[in-house]
């Protein structure tokens, strides 16, 4: 836990940075004179500096003040500032460590934040602890000298959480976002509606949450986010440079909405398992593909208009995800008409439309985004010029089992051990789809078998860091053996953070499960 690398060359940063140059000088050490010196006049950089100082204070017991000013930073400063070269883009950073100072310089605030995540990972794992180690560890808080220049390969590095099949509280969602931020992921896609639950307050349609929010898979009490809850998630994510992509899946996967407003359906399909539901019309099973809105009813488009308007108004990010997957009960012309009508509504409210790859059957605007999940050849959306997010179920689905014996999860797409999640290449995955057509990658955690955040994180770690490295790091820097060795050092961090994980036998973890963590060296 206190093993700091003695050379920057031995770092265990995930995702692996673009370029790492070890220095020959002495390391930087956190001491009683350490302070965080932020760029004067940037509220965002100041906020990131406060987050960093708060993290460092707990285990070190040091004061770590945050100062702001234009004067040259004093010895012992961790400097965070803007003004880096434009070549770093919005998310890149330069990190320079010497005995005297640590400097993180970026072209935009997100880059400063990502640089801070690298700094965290360069310190001993115990930096993540809630314990104050005080003087017992005073000599251990060091960062090896050298320089890192880093920027992402893809702009979309995401994870989806299905809060519809099982509900997750705001605090649980924050824990999930914390993991994204640690691994420099920047998209949190939240699946807010499905057959089993509607999870977001809509003022113009109160029964959605009253009726549609009242249950979940297995018949539990469900739940939903009020507008204040959603605003809190948005705020928390934004502080970590994570953009929320809200998904309302339609026209299929809509039983919860139909239970609330039966006129949304042409003829009410009654799944066999509904008879057992506590609230009439709701569904607590796990079959897919049987429900649909009525594409020929104007009442449906008035409803979609209400939903998109209210969600667009509470979402600062540029995207609205309309789902569009697995509609087994509509004919193609009906499905196409529905997607095209919804697309117009989404753009009318100022958002870019995202949908699962099936939306490529419809005529898409060139800015619309398709999320691949099942095809292994060129999806029709790409032929039309739309950009793709790659979420191949066989590689990125976080709800697939790690081995046939994993208690949680499903197996319909694949069994996904860590190496399978890591060892694939986005630019060659779909023959005929070039890198320029790919916005990035996203992992999806469907929650049919997942009841709480502990289970969610067990399925997420270590596969999400693997995907984060595919999304961030350059192909040249990326290979399984290197990842395997670097990620081995992260289990002790997860344990200190209280984050559950799957101890894949493909990794020689520093901190073996069941072995008590040594608190002092
Ligand atoms: C397929 S992938 C679905 C979801 C399920 C998931 C379970 C996709 C776009 N739709 O409705 O939850 O499989 O793995």
- 102-154 confidence digits (pLDDT tens): 999 999 999 999 999 999 999 999 999 999 998 888 788 999 999 999 999 99
50, 172, 326, 340: which is the annotated catalytic residue?
Answer: 326
Q: Nearest Cα to 245, choosing from 253, 233, 258?
A: 233
Residue 178 · residue 128 · CB < 8 Å: no
Look at the block and give the residue holding tokens 């101890």.
503
> Closest residue (by CA) to atom 11 of ligand 1?
288
pLDDT-derived band at 516 (thresholds 50, 70, 90) equals very low
Q: What is the structure's pLDDT at 521? A: 31
- Ligand 1 center from residue 398 Cα (angstroms): 11
Task: Please state, in angstroms and rounded to a whole number, the distance separating the CA atoms of residues 241 and 186.
Answer: 6
Give Cα separations from 108 to 102, 119, 148, 333, 398 (angstroms): 18, 17, 17, 45, 31
Cα–ligand 1 centroid distance for 243 (angstroms)? 22
Clarify whether 448 is annotated catalytic.
no
**DSSP H helices in 473-507:** 480-487, 491-497
Q: Which of 288, 357, 391, 414 to mutate to test the pocket of ligand 1 (most atoms within 8 A of CB)?
A: 288
Tens-place pLDDT, residues 303-353 = 999 999 999 999 999 999 999 999 999 999 999 999 999 999 999 999 999
CB of 319 within 6 A of ligand 1: the answer is no
Of ligand 1's listed atoms, the one at least distance from the Cα of 162 is 12
pTM of structure: 0.96
Report the nearest atom of ligand 1 relative to the CA of 374. Answer: 2
Mean pLDDT of 73-85: 94
Tell me the C-alpha distance between 60 and 39, whole Å.
Answer: 24
Residue 325, ligand 1, Cβ within 6 A? yes
CB atoms within 10 A of CB 208: 25
Measured from the CA of 194, which atom of ligand 1 is nearest?
11
Ligand 1 atom, smallest distance to 391 CA: 2
Cβ–Cβ < 8 Å for 467, 153 = no
Ligand 1 center to 197 CA (angstroms):
15
Query: Nearest C-alpha to atom 5 of ligand 1 is from which residue?
Result: 446
Expressed in angstroms and rounded, the spacing between residue 446 Cα and the centre of ligand 1 is 7
Name the phi and psi angles at 467, rounded to 5: -70, -35
Q: Is the CB of 288 under 6 A from ligand 1?
A: yes
């Amino acid at each position: 836990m206190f093993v700091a690398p003695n050379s920057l060359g031995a770092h265990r940063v995930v995702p692996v940075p673009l370029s790492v140059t070890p220095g020959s000088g002495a390391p930087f050490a956190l001491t009683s004179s350490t302070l965080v010196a932020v760029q004067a006049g940037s509220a965002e950089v100041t906020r990131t500096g406060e987050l960093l100082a708060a993290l460092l204070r707990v285990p070190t017991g040091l004061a770590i003040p945050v100062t702001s000013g234009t004067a040259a930073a004093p010895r012992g400063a961790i400097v965070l500032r803007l003004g880096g070269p434009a070549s770093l883009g919005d998310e890149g950073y330069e990190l320079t460590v010497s005995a005297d100072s640590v400097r993180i310089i970026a072209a935009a605030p997100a880059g400063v934040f990502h640089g801070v995540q690298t700094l965290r990972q360069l310190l001993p794992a115990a930096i993540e602890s809630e314990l104050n180690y005080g003087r017992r560890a005073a000599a251990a808080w060091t960062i090896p000298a050298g320089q890192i220049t880093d920027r992402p390969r893809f702009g979309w590095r995401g994870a989806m959480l299905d809060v519809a099949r099982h509900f997750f509280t705001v605090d649980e969602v924050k824990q999930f976002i914390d993991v994204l931020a640690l691994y420099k992921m920047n998209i949190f896609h939240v699946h807010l509606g499905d057959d089993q639950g509607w999870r977001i307050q809509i003022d113009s349609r109160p029964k959605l949450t009253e009726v549609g929010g009242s249950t979940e898979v297995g018949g539990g009490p469900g739940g939903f986010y009020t507008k204040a809850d959603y605003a809190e998630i948005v705020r928390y994510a934004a502080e970590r440079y994570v953009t929320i992509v809200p998904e309302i899946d339609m026209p299929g996967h809509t039983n919860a909405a139909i239970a609330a407003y039966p006129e949304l359906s042409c003829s009410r399909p009654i799944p066999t398992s509904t008879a057992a539901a506590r609230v009439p019309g709701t569904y607590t099973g796990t079959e897919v593909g049987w429900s649909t809105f009525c594409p020929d009813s104007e009442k449906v488009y008035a409803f979609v208009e209400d939903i998109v308007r209210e969600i667009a108004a509470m979402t600062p990010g540029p995207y609205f995800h309309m789902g569009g997957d697995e509609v087994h009960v509509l004919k193609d012309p009906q499905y196409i008409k529905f997607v095209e009508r919804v697309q117009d509504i989404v753009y009318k409210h100022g958002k870019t439309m995202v949908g699962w790859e099936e939306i490529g059957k419809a005529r898409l605007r060139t800015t619309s985004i398709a999320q691949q999940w099942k095809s292994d050849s060129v999806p029709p959306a790409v032929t039309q010029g739309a950009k793709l997010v790659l979420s191949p179920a066989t590689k990125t689905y976080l709800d697939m089992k790690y081995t046939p014996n994993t208690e949680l999860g499903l197996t319909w797409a694949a069994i996904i051990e860590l190496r399978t999640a890591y060892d694939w290449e986005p630019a060659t995955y779909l023959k005929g789809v070039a890198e320029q057509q790919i916005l990035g990658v996203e992992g999806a955690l469907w929650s049919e078998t997942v009841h709480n955040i502990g289970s969610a994180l067990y399925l997420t770690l270590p596969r999400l860091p693997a995907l984060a490295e595919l999304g961030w790091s350059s192909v040249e820097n990326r290979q399984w053996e290197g990842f395997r060795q670097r990620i081995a050092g992260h289990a002790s961090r997860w344990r200190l953070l209280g984050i559950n994980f799957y101890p894949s036998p493909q990794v020689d973890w520093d901190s073996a499960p069941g072995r008590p963590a040594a608190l002092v060296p």
